Structure 1
Amino acid sequence: MILRGSAVYWFLFLLFRFVLRRDVRSMGVADLLFVVLVADAASNAMQGDYKSIGDGMVLVSTLAAWNYAMDWLAFRLAPVARFMEPPPEVVVRNGQPNHRLLVRQMMSLHELESKLRSLGVESLAQVRIARLESDGSLSVFTFDDKAHHGPSEGQPPAGGT
């Protein structure tokens, strides 16, 4: 059961880290449904034949242990931290949007402009540099040297649904 739990943990971690890079706070209804279905499928894959509460506790403990171990390692080792979290990416430089990044993140120019307005930036022309942070928030520095930072908790980050 520990091996099953470990295998599914790593499969899901790699899937969410490299294939589905969206932040949990930016989930739309379809994304939430996907996560629920993945959780159910993963549960079936991890459970195997277990029938007792003790088996369930072992399985949940295995997942929690992996989660704690990865957080601990990321805090102490820079290479692990880089592996765990994507680096910030420049989405606007000197008023010019990075169209490749927008396409890769499935973010329209309209969504980017809307997010900038919500941070108090009226137009792309005001942006010296804007970075899409690893947590999905947008950090913006304008030519007038004012820093505009991403959303506080509870607000959706930059990016689509």
Structure 2
Amino acid sequence: MIAFDWQRMLLDDFPLAFLGEVAFRALFAFLIVFLFLKVSGRRGVRQLSLFELVMILTLGSAAGDVSFYEDVPLLPIAMVFITLLVLYRLTVLGTRHSKHFSNWLEGKPVTIIKEGKYELKSLDHLNISADEFFMELRQLGVEHLGQVRLGILETDGDVSLYFHSSEEVKPGLSVLPPEHRPVYKRMPASVVHACVRCAHTQHIESQQTALCPRCGNDIWSPALSHKRVR
């Protein structure tokens, strides 16, 4: 084998006209995935359930093969599309008639914030980092958890928030980036602090340490109490 053999690297033994077949195969693969999304009635990836995402990945893998490999015929890929579509329709029918099946397949909305504090049982089962979660809260206009009355993680991964009125906002855990959210074990000032694990708030005296009565954590951050700017 010759290194940097441009003929092998660019086209190998295929004729130049094979590039036209690749273009046709890519168009076929695109139409198959596009038609599936149109038939399923979904407008975007954020609306896909876990089951639908797996189906799209399966179809995408098959469509990718037919795009690039000359020995993969088109009709079997069309059969993959038909099979997945029938499976999708049967699954939708099953979720409409069985709540247990629907919950098992798509999951249920999960309460993650209640009255400015984390729901610990919910967080322990979620595979999400604090920084990632804080970023999503900031994008929804949250500065600290004391502004939030209720936070629900929907089955599609979106977070739905219900806010306190300005008069009801409480001191809460900051969701700002680390450079704006200092943490301490020994408090530098006598102010209300928020537990960085569960968002419980309490007043702690200067130079004192404390264990959170809610989760046992000993790391705190000064609580914020700013009103929400709409």
Partner of 1:110: 131
Q: What's the offset of the Cα at 1:39?
A: 5.6
Partner of 1:122: 143
* Inter-partner Cα distance in structure 1 for 2:126 and 2:100: 24
* Inter-partner Cα distance in structure 2 for 1:59 and 1:113: 40
Question: Kindly tell me: are residues 130 and 54 of structure 1, through their superposed partners in 2, closer, same or farther at Cα, counting changes over 3 Å?
Answer: same
Identity %, equivalent residues: 24
Q: Return the match for 1:142 from 139, 154, 163.
A: 163
Question: Kindly tell me: are residues 72 and 88 of structure 1, through their superposed partners in 2, closer, same or farther at Cα, counting changes over 3 Å?
Answer: same
Letter in 1 for 2:149: R
- 1:132-160 per-residue CA deviation (whole Å, 9 max, x = no partner) reads 01010101112229xxxxxxxxxxxxxxx
Q: Which has the higher contact order (CA 8 A, sep 6+)?
A: 1
What secondary structure does 2:141 align onto?
coil
Q: What's the offset of the Cα at 1:84?
A: 2.2
Partner of 1:58: 79
* Inter-partner Cα distance in structure 1 for 2:101 and 2:162: 29
Tell me if the contact between 2:59 and 2:80 (Cα under 8 Å) persists in the aligned partners: no
* Inter-partner Cα distance in structure 2 for 1:59 and 1:114: 39
- 1:74-85 to 2 correspondence within 5 Å? 74-85=95-106
RMSD (Å), alpha carbons: 3.5
What secondary structure does 1:134 align onto?
coil
Q: What's the offset of the Cα at 1:75?
A: 2.8
Moved more, 104-113 or 122-131: 104-113
Tell me if the contact between 2:59 and 2:81 (Cα under 8 Å) persists in the aligned partners: no
How many residue pairs align between the two structures?
Answer: 108
* Inter-partner Cα distance in structure 2 for 1:127 and 1:144: 9
Question: Kindly tell me: are residues 25 and 103 of structure 1, through their superposed partners in 2, closer, same or farther at Cα, counting changes over 3 Å?
Answer: farther
- 1:1-161 to 2 correspondence within 5 Å? 25=46, 40=61, 52-99=73-120, 101-102=122-123, 104-144=125-165
Question: Kindly tell me: are residues 73 and 38 of structure 1, through their superposed partners in 2, closer, same or farther at Cα, counting changes over 3 Å?
Answer: closer
Structure (1/2) with the larger helix percentage: 1
- Kindly name which structure, 1 or 2, has the bigger radius of gyration based on alpha carbons: 2
